[in-house]
C-alpha cells in the first residue's frame, strides 16, 4: 500500500510523516519543489502487507 504527503518549508507535515514511519511505512521517494520563497517536499511512502 502506498501513500504520500507534503512536508512544507515551515515543518508542517512532519508529525504525519513520523506517525506513518512508526506504523511501518518506508520512504520510497522524495521530490523537492523549490519555489522562490519556499522549499516543499513530496514524500511517497510504502507499507508491505
Per the structure, the complete domain to which residue 8 belongs is given by: 2-46
Split at pLDDT 50, 70, 90, the class of 9 is confident
The answer to whether 45 and 7 are in contact (CB under 8 A) is no
pLDDT tens column, 15-42: 999 999 999 999 999 999 877 767 899 9
List C-alpha distances in Å: 17 to 8, 36, 37, 38: 12, 25, 23, 19
Position 20 scores a pLDDT of 98
The pTM of the whole model exceeds 0.95: no
What pLDDT score does 5 carry?
Answer: 96
Domain count, the chain: 1
Q: What is the 3-state secondary structure (H, E, C) of 1-49?
A: CEEEEEECCCCCCHHHHHHHHHCCCEEEEEEEEECCCCEEEEEEEECCC
Amino acid at each position: 500500500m502506498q501513500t504520500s504527503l507534503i512536508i512544507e518549508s515551515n515543518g508542517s507535515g512532519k508529525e504525519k510523516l513520523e506517525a506513518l514511519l512508526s506504523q511501518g511505512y518506508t520512504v520510497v521517494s522524495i521530490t523537492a519543489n523549490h519555489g522562490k520563497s519556499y522549499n516543499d517536499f513530496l514524500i511517497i511512502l510504502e507499507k508491505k502487507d
